Amino acid sequence: MAQDLDTTVREQSVDRWLSSRFVGDEAARADLIALYALDHELTAIPRKVTDPLMGEIRMTWWIEGLEELAAGKPPRPHPVLEAIAAGALPPQALAALAEARLGDLDPPKTGEALLKHVDATEGLAMALAARRLSNAARAEHVAQAARAYGLSHIDGEGALTALKASRAELKGLPIEAFPAVAHATLAKPYARNKTPGALETRTRVLLAVLSGRIS
């Protein structure tokens, strides 16, 4: 099951998958993969449905499944929920992520509403990943890095502004938590409407991890 989720994340979210390769603790790496697999399932829903009501029904299934885990109930029969149940991620926070992803069915396009949506989705996912890697990691350490990555395909200028702001925040992030944010280094080419090849992608993530900086 763990191998299947790892393959899914590698195929569907290679940026995050590459960052997770720098997590030395096997259990923590598995939890990051479960988190990213969950977010993939959630973000795929708007692409798979044409009826918003059906999208809400599917999102609600995930919200309820995660809330059941938070209440101590056994996982529903799905590899992602089973992996979450076996790990150390907080199901209630993951349910909040799923609830925030409801906004993907009719996402805000600009302004403060867009920023709030990115903070509640990409921001929460990145904060959960960082906290899983270090108890000293805080949401404010990764907030701008998450904005940069979350905005990179939507608002290029906003992404570049957030990327610049992230450098000061990341100085407070424990080094062991850096793999949670390393893939945000790809926000710059994405914001400039460039898609780096496989080698450049790997190199950028590697350099980010080695330097402890995203740029």
Give CA–CA dist 126/144, Å, rounded.
10
Residues 13 and 82 in one domain: yes
Residues 51 and 142 in one domain: no
Q: Mean pLDDT in the chain?
A: 95
Residues 136 and 90 in one domain: no
Q: What pLDDT, in 10s, does the model give residues 165-209? A: 999 999 999 999 999 999 999 999 999 999 999 999 999 999 999
Give CA–CA dist 23/7, Å, rounded.
16
Residue 209's CB: how many other CB atoms inside 10 A? 21
Residues 48 and 89 in one domain: yes
Q: What pLDDT, in 10s, does the model give residues 25-70? A: 999 999 999 999 999 999 999 999 988 899 999 999 999 999 999 9
- Which tokens hold the place of 160? 């570049």
Residues 92 and 149 in one domain: no
Residues 143 and 43 in one domain: no
H-assigned helices in 75-191: 79-86, 91-100, 111-118, 124-133, 139-151, 156-170, 187-191
Q: What is the pLDDT of residue 108?
A: 87
Q: What pLDDT, in 10s, does the model give residues 60-117? A: 999 999 999 999 999 999 999 999 999 999 999 999 999 999 999 998 889 999 999 9
pTM of the model: 0.95
Residues 14 and 98 in one domain: yes
- Number of domain units in the chain: 2
Which structural domain, as residue segments, surrounds residue 66? 1-106
For 21-64, the DSSP string reads: TT---HHHHHHHHHHHHHHHHHHHHHHH-SSHHHHHHHHHHHHH
Question: Is there a domain that residue 127 lies in?
Answer: no
**Contact status, residue 159 vs residue 148, Cβ threshold 8 Å:** yes
Amino acid at 198: A
Q: What is the pLDDT of residue 169?
A: 95
**In the predicted structure, residue 3 carries a pLDDT above the cut 80:** no
Residues 73 and 10 in one domain: yes
Q: What is the largest CA-CA distance in the chain?
A: 46
- SS3 state at 181: coil
- SS3 state at 211: helix
Q: What pLDDT, in 10s, does the model give residues 121-138? A: 999 999 999 999 999 999
CA distances from 29 to 6, 120, 172 (A): 10, 22, 22
**Contact status, residue 90 vs residue 34, Cβ threshold 8 Å:** no
Question: Is there a domain that residue 120 lies in?
Answer: no
Residues 15 and 94 in one domain: yes
pLDDT band, residue 215 (cuts 50/70/90): confident
Half-sphere exposure of 57 (CA within 13 A, CB side): 7
